[in-house]
Chain A
C-alpha cells in the first residue's frame, strides 16, 4: 500500500470522527438517536430479566429455608414449604412497601414534582465507565435530561440521558459528577466531586478558615439550580489541610448505598402552562 494511501486511510476516518463528534456536540442528534433506539431496546431486554432475577432469588431463599426441615414428615414439610413461600413473598412485599413508603414520605420540594422509578440495570456495559444506573422512566413519563434523582436516604445523581421509556443516571460517585453542597451544621459550602466507584467523594473549595467536622452531613446547597436545596448527599469522613494552602482537603462518604438501590424518585420541574391554558 502506498504511503499516501495509508495517510489518507488514517486521516479521513479521523476527520470524519471529529466532524461527527463536533456535530453531535452542537446538535445532540446522535445522543437522542442512541437514547431512543439503543437505550430503550436494552431497557426492554433488562425489564423482564428483573422479574426472572426476583423469581430466582425467591426460589433460592425458599431452598435456604427448607434446609432445616428435611427431617420432618411429609405433611409438615409441605405445610412449612407453603408457609415459608408465603413468608418469603410477604417479606419481599413488605420490604418493597417500606422502601416505597419512605420515598412517598419524602417532604415536598417547592417547585419540583416527583416521579417514581425502578432501577432496571446497574452499569451495564463497557461504555458506562462512569458509575451509572438504568431507570424505567423516560421522556414519555415527563422526565428530562439533567433531572435530579434521589432515594429515601439522599441524592443519587442526575439523569444523563433520557430515552422514550428508559433513562441513564450518572451517580454522584462518577468522576464527572459535581454537586454543590453545604455542611448542615456549620453551613460551610463546597463542591462534592465523584472519584469513581467505592471511592469517597472529594469535597473541593472548602476555605481554610471554615470549620467542617468529621461525621457532619453535607446537603445540596441549591447553587446552580440543578439540584434542589437540602437533599442529604454525604457524610464527612476526613478533614485535613490541603497542599495548596487556600482550601481544606475534605472527603465524604455518600449516604446512599448505590449498589442496593431498587427504587428512586426523579425530580422534575412542572411543565409551564401552555399558551391555550393561559389565555382567557
Chain B
C-alpha cells in the first residue's frame, strides 16, 4: 500500500504535529493535545526520541502554564507509570492503549492539582465529562501517531 506519510522529513512531521496540537489546545481550552506525542516512542522503547519529545512538550507546556513545574511532574509521572506498567503488560495492545489513556486523563489534572497546592492555590478537579473527553483525545491521538509511525517503519523511514 502506498502512503505519502514517509515522504515528509521527520522533524517537519513532528513540527507540524506539534503546531496542530498547540492549536487544538487553543480551540479546546484546558485539554492536553501535546503529551500523546511521547507515547508512541515509549511504546517502542525508543528512549532517545521519547526523551526529546518529552523535553519539547515539557518546555512548551511549562511556558504556557500558570505556575512552575506542573508539566514537569505530569511528565515524570507519565514516564514512571508507563515504564512500570509496560513491564507487566503489552504496550501495543489496543486495550492497554485505551486503559493507559484513561489513567493519563486522570493523572494529568491530579499532577497539576498537586503542584497548585505547593503554590498555595486550590484548583478544582475538572468535571468527569472533561476527563472522558481528554481520555478520548489521548487515545485517538496516540492511535493516530502509532499508525503513522507504523507506516513509516514499514517503509524504513524511521
Checking B25, B64, B74, B76 against A39 with a beta-carbon cut-off of 8 angstroms, the contacting residue is: B64
Minimum distance in angstroms from A128 CB to a CB of chain B: 5
**Bound Cα distance A121, B23 (Å):** 9
Chain B residues positioned under 8 Å from A163 (CB to CB): 63
**Bound Cα distance A13, B66 (Å):** 23
**Bound Cα distance A127, B116 (Å):** 10
Please tell me if the beta carbons of A45 and B22 are within 8 angstroms of each other in the complex.
yes
Residues on A facing B (Cβ under 8 Å): 13, 17, 20-21, 24-25, 30-31, 33-35, 37-42, 45-46, 49, 121-130, 132, 134, 160-161, 163, 168, 170, 174-176, 196
Say yes or no: A30-B69 contact (C-beta < 8 A), given A13-B80, A126-B32, A126-B109: yes
Chain B residues positioned under 8 Å from A128 (CB to CB): 29-30, 64-66
Q: Does B72 contact A (CB under 8 A)?
A: yes
8 closest A-B pairs by CB: A38-B63, A127-B65, A39-B63, A34-B62, A130-B66, A126-B32, A38-B59, A124-B26
Please tell me if the beta carbons of B22 and A13 are within 8 angstroms of each other in the complex.
no
Say yes or no: A125-B118 contact (C-beta < 8 A), given A46-B22, A196-B124: no
Chain A residue with the shortest CB-CB distance to B79: A13
**Bound Cα distance A174, B119 (Å):** 13
Contact with A along B22-43 (1 / 0, CB 8 A): 1101100111101000000000
Chain A residues positioned under 8 Å from B80 (CB to CB): 13
Chain B residues positioned under 8 Å from A24 (CB to CB): 68-69
Which residue among B26, B69, B74 has the maximum number of chain A CB atoms within 10 Å of its CB?
B26
Please tell me if the beta carbons of A123 and B59 are within 8 angstroms of each other in the complex.
no
Minimum distance in angstroms from A36 CB to a CB of chain B: 8
B37-85, CB < 8 A from A: 59-74, 76, 80
Which residue among A121, A124, A160, A163 has the maximum number of chain B CB atoms within 10 Å of its CB?
A124
Please tell me if the beta carbons of A42 and B64 are within 8 angstroms of each other in the complex.
yes
Checking A40, A42, A175 against B22 with a beta-carbon cut-off of 8 angstroms, the contacting residue is: A42
Checking B32, B66, B69 against A174 with a beta-carbon cut-off of 8 angstroms, the contacting residue is: B66
B-side interface residues, number (CB < 8 Å)? 40
Say yes or no: A37-B63 contact (C-beta < 8 A), given A126-B108, A129-B123: yes
Chain A residues positioned under 8 Å from B18 (CB to CB): 45
Checking A17, A122, A170 against B73 with a beta-carbon cut-off of 8 angstroms, the contacting residue is: A17
Say yes or no: A126-B61 contact (C-beta < 8 A), given A24-B69, A132-B66: yes
Say yes or no: A13-B69 contact (C-beta < 8 A), given A30-B62, A38-B63, A45-B22: no
Please tell me if the beta carbons of B123 and A175 are within 8 angstroms of each other in the complex.
yes
Checking B23, B29, B62 against A123 with a beta-carbon cut-off of 8 angstroms, the contacting residue is: B29
Please tell me if the beta carbons of B68 and A126 are within 8 angstroms of each other in the complex.
no
Q: Does B155 contact A (CB under 8 A)?
A: no
